[in-house]
Amino acid sequence: MRGIKRKCAGWTLALAAAVLLPAGLSAQAGGGGAAGSGSGSGASGPGAGAAGQAAPGPGAQGQAPGQANGQTPQQYAAGASLVIDPRKKSPSKAGALTLEQVVELAKAKNPTLLAAEATLRGVRAQEIQAAVRANPYFTLYGTNVTEPANADTPYGVSAQVSRLFERGQKRRWRIDDAKATTAQTQAQNEDQIRQTILQVKTAFTTMLIAKQAALLSQANLKEFSHEVDIANDRYKAGDLAKVDFERLDLQLGQFESDQANDIINLQQASAQLQTLMGYDAPKPDFDITGEVVPPVVTQTKEAILQLAIANRPDYAAARFGVQAAEANARLAIANGTTDPTVEAEYDRNGSENSIGASVNIPLRLFDRNQGNKATARFQADASRFTEIAAKNQVSSDVEQAWVGYAQSKRLSDRYTEHYLDESTDVLKISQFAFEHGGIALIDYLDALRDARTTVSNALSAYENTWNAIHQLAASAATEIVP
C-alpha cells in the first residue's frame, strides 16, 4: 500500500481533490462535501474549489465521472493495469536468431576475424621460409684473344660452384622460432575471437533488453495518453483547472521522449549487432530471441579459474612468446658462429684443363653478434615477466567478473523472486481500491508508474547480470552457461 496514502503536493493535491470518482458513487451537488474532506486545494480555473466540495461538471449532472471516450473507470483501470512481465520472452519475428546462431555467424563473417585469420596464414607460411637452406652459387666466365699471331693467350673458360654452410644449428633455431611465432599469433587470433564474441554477446543482450524497454515505453505512452484524454474531457467540462491539465499534459512529452529514445536505442543496438556479425548494411527486419531472465552459473569460482588458466588464449600467447624469445636467443648465439663457404672450380685454358677447390672462412675477430645476443637475452627475460603478468591478469579478470556476477545476480534474483511480484500485488490492490472508491485515479496511476519503474529497474538488473555472465565466460574462455 506504499504510495496509496501518501500526500501529493502542489498541483497534484488540486488534481486529486477533483479526481474522477468510481461509477456508482454519486457526487453531492452544491455544498454537500464528501466525508473526511480537507482544506481547499487552492487551484484556480474552471471547477476549482475547496477540497471535499463537489465541482460542477459531468459528475454533478448525473454522468458518472471517468466515462471519457466511452470508458467507465473500471474499464480504464482494467486496461491500464496491463504491465509487461520482463520475465517472459518478448514477441519475435519469424526467423529471429538466437545467441548461439548470432555468435556462429559472427565467427564466419566478421571481417576483423577474417583479416586476423589471413594474417595467421601469412605467419604460418614463414615456417616454410625458416626451413630453407642456403642456395649454392654458380659462376661462369670466359676469355678469348682474337689476335691469331699471339699463341700465348688462348681462350679460357672458368666455372665455379660455391655454397655457404651454416654452423651452430641456425636452421633448427629458425624453425623453432617460426613455429613459436606461429603458435603465438594463433593464440592472439583466438584471443581476438574471444574479445569479439564478448562484444557480440554484449550487443545481443543490449538489443534484447532494448526490445523489452521499447515495449514498456509503448505501454507507458498508451496508458498515460488515456489519463491525459480523461483530464482533457474534465477540463473542457469545467471539472479541472487549466493549470492542472497543462501540467499533466506536459508529462506526456516525457513519455513520448522515452518512447523515442527507446526506439533509437533498439535500432542502434540492432545496427551494432549486425555490424559485428559482418553485415555490410543493417537489415530492417533483423530480429533476435532469447531468455531475458539470466540463468544460474553452476561452476565455482575456483573451477572457472582453472578453466581460464587452461583455456585463455592471451595467456597461451604469452607462453608461446617465451618459447619464441628463447628460440630467438639461441638463434642469436648461433648467428655468432662462423659459416664457411666451400667453392669448387673448373678451368679450361686453351687445350689445358684444371680443377680446384677453396674454403672461405670469415674471421669473427670483431663482430661476433654480441649486441644481438644481449638483446635476445633481455627479450627472453622480458617475455617471462610478460607470462607472469598474463597469468596474474587471468586471475584478476576471473575475480572481477565473479564479483560482478555475484552482485548483479543477487539483485536480479530479488526482482525475479520478490520485487516484481510485490509490485504486481501493490498494483492490483491499488486497482481494486480505485474500482471501489478507496483512492483517487492519480494515486492509482502513481502505483501503475511505480510498477513500471520496477519493471524498468528489473530490465537493467537482468542486462547487468547477463553482461556479467558474458564477462565471466570471456574471462574463462569457455561457455559456462549450458
Residue 342 phi, psi (nearest 5)? -100, 135
Are 459 and 403 within one domain?
A: yes
Determine the average pLDDT of the residues in 264-283. Answer: 93
Contact 335, 372 (CB under 8 A): yes
Model confidence over 96-130: pLDDT tens digits? 999 999 999 999 999 999 999 999 999 999 999 99
180: in domain = yes
Q: Are 457 and 174 in contact (CB under 8 A)?
A: no
Q: Are residues 465 and 377 both part of a single domain?
A: yes
**Does pLDDT of 395 surpass 70?**
yes
Least confident of 126-130, 186-190, 205-209, 442-446: 442-446
The pLDDT score that the predictor gives to residue 151 is 57
Asked if residue 410 and residue 297 are part of one domain, the reply reads yes
Compute the distance between CA of residue 39 and CA of residue 42 in angstroms, rounded to an integer. 9
Please indicate, yes or no, if residue 224 is contained in any of the structural domains: yes
Same domain assignment for residues 408 and 321: yes
Confidence category of residue 474, pLDDT binned at 50, 70, 90 = very high
Among 71-85, 140-154, 437-451, which is the least confidently predicted range? 71-85
Q: Which residue has the higher pLDDT, 39 or 173?
A: 173
Q: 158 in a domain, yes or no?
A: yes
* Residue 46 neighbours by CB distance under 10 Å: 17
> Is residue 62 scored above 70 in pLDDT?
no
Strand, helix or coil at 344? strand
Residue 247, pLDDT above cutoff 90 = no
Count of structural domains within the chain: 2
Residue 446's nearest CA partner among 78, 23, 12, 82 is 12
| pLDDT score, position 453 | 86
- Domain identity same for 60 and 70: yes
Does the structure show a pLDDT above 60 at 58? no
- 353 and 471: one domain? no
The larger pLDDT score, comparing residue 253 to residue 244, is at 253
pLDDT band at 216 (very low <50, low <70, confident <90, very high): confident
Phi-psi region of 260 (alpha: psi -120 to 50; beta: other; left: phi over 0): alpha
Residue matched to cell numbers 572481477: 400
Give the CATH number for residue 278.
1.20.1600.10
Q: Does any domain span residue 422?
A: yes
Q: Are 220 and 314 in the same domain?
A: yes
Same domain, 112 and 224: yes
Which pLDDT tens digit goes with each residue over 332-352? 999 999 989 999 999 888 778
Task: Mark whether 258 and 149 lie in a shared domain.
Answer: no
Asked if residue 61 has pLDDT above 70, the reply is: no
127 and 216 assigned to the same domain: yes
Residues 286 and 149 in one domain: no
Domain-located, residue 178 = yes
481 located within any domain: no
- Give pLDDT, residue 115: 92
User: What's the mean pLDDT when you consider all of the chain?
Assistant: 80
Same domain membership, residue 194 and residue 108: yes
Q: Is residue 154 part of a domain?
A: yes
- Among residues 360, 393, 416, the one where a domain terminates is 360
Which of the listed residues 296, 326, 360 is the one where a domain comes to its end?
A: 360
Last residue of a domain, one of 292, 327, 360: 360
| Environment class of 479 (CB within 10 Å of its CB; exposed 0-12, middle 13-18, buried 19+) | exposed
Task: Name the residue range of residue 152's domain.
Answer: 137-166+339-360
Mean pLDDT across 363-386: 92
**2: in domain:** no
